Structure 1
């Protein structure tokens, strides 16, 4: 016989338990997802390029993996981008305009040429040279080595075919 004011207390226990479990699971999900909010970024002009899609799917899960300075990959809100660290200290944008001839330092790392802009130290900008679309990486060098970051990103970036290379002029 049912209770005149609704289900019996014994009948509501399983329902309360399920509700409690669902609420607890929801709270845990919110708490864990709150640890790493999405990194806001603006997409580059050519971020929708198929070459950029090929780069993004090859990005590493961490920069400086297995070191004290390890920077885990973060979710971003823009196409053709990547970010690492909490707070983010390495930012990648694919689809930026390719740099023209420059007197800035240019280095080759794992077969990828990078132009280095150190004018905003300790934030260093590394832009691929001789690849279209170009990839720009911003690294906070106080947190992780720029050399480490571009070394670990060069594998993903190398899927964009090289059309040119750094050159050096011998000193007179």
Structure 2
């Protein structure tokens, strides 16, 4: 048994260890125009959860967000370069009348990329295969309130 004087210090150290273990931070590369003031508005409006089971995580870069689990997280960056019109432009309605146009691509590994179309600064969302194994990408509509903080100047054709 520990002497009484060691109990508070041990308890405090254990609390720091336990609470520190709960903090999950995801490394996300900062976008070139992350310092744009509109990105701050976007970040303040991101949801605490995507879908019903992808909780928001801490990130280590300005104008970024992440949801899910470390190693299998959906990541978002504001301030990426705008992309031009493309055949893979999709109009996504959030169900509350808010809509966002996204350029949607997938790579050979199965990673989905969504980049807003017609908004400056642009927002990019990356969805890794580890997420799409158990989820559809329909949660992209959950980001409409945040993304529409940047006004649209063009729409998908």
TM range (shorter): 0.7 to 0.9
Unaligned 5+ runs, structure 1: 1-11, 168-172
Task: Indicate conservation of the 8 Å contact 1:89/1:144, yes or no.
Answer: no
Superposition TM-score, scaled by structure 1 size: 0.78
Contact 2:85/2:156 (CA < 8 Å) preserved in 1?
A: no
Structure 1 counterpart of 2:121 = 133
Following superposition, the deviation at residue 79 of structure 1 comes to 0.3
Aligned 8 A contact 2:89 2:101 in 1: no
For 1:4-153, list aligned pairs within 5 A.
13=4, 16=5, 19-65=6-52, 70-87=53-70, 88-110=72-94, 111-120=99-108, 122-140=110-128, 141-148=132-139, 150-153=140-143
Greater gyration radius: 1
- For the aligned residue pairs, the C-alpha RMSD in angstroms reads 1.8
Contact 2:25 2:59 in 1 (8 A): yes
Q: Secondary structure at the match of 1:46?
A: coil
Measured against aligned partners, the alpha-carbon deviations of 1:112-131 in whole angstroms (never above 9, x if no partner) come to 11111023453211110000
Task: Provide, for residues 20-78 of structure 1, a one-character-per-residue CA deviation record: whole Å limited to 9, x for no partner.
Answer: 2243233223223223431111110001111110011111111112xxxx011110000
More strand per residue: 1 or 2?
A: 2
Q: Structure 1 residues 22 and 143, CA, compared in 2 at 3 Å: closer, same or farther?
A: farther
For normalisation by structure 2, the TM-score amounts to: 0.84
Which of 138, 151, 155 is residue 145 of structure 2 equivalent to?
A: 155
Aligned 8 A contact 2:89 2:156 in 1: no
Change beyond 3 A, Cα 1:164–1:105: closer
Is the 1:89–1:143 Cα contact (8 Å) retained in structure 2?
A: no
Cross-structure match for 1:3: none
For residue 152 of structure 1, give the secondary structure of its aligned residue in structure 2: helix
In structure 2, do the counterparts of structure 1 residues 96 and 72 end up closer, same or farther at CA, with 3 Å as the change threshold?
Answer: same
CA contact (8 A) 1:95 1:135 kept: yes
In 1, Cα distance between the equivalents of 2:55 and 2:17? 19
Structure 2 stretches lacking a partner, 5+ long:
none
Tell me the SS of whatever aligns to 2:85: coil
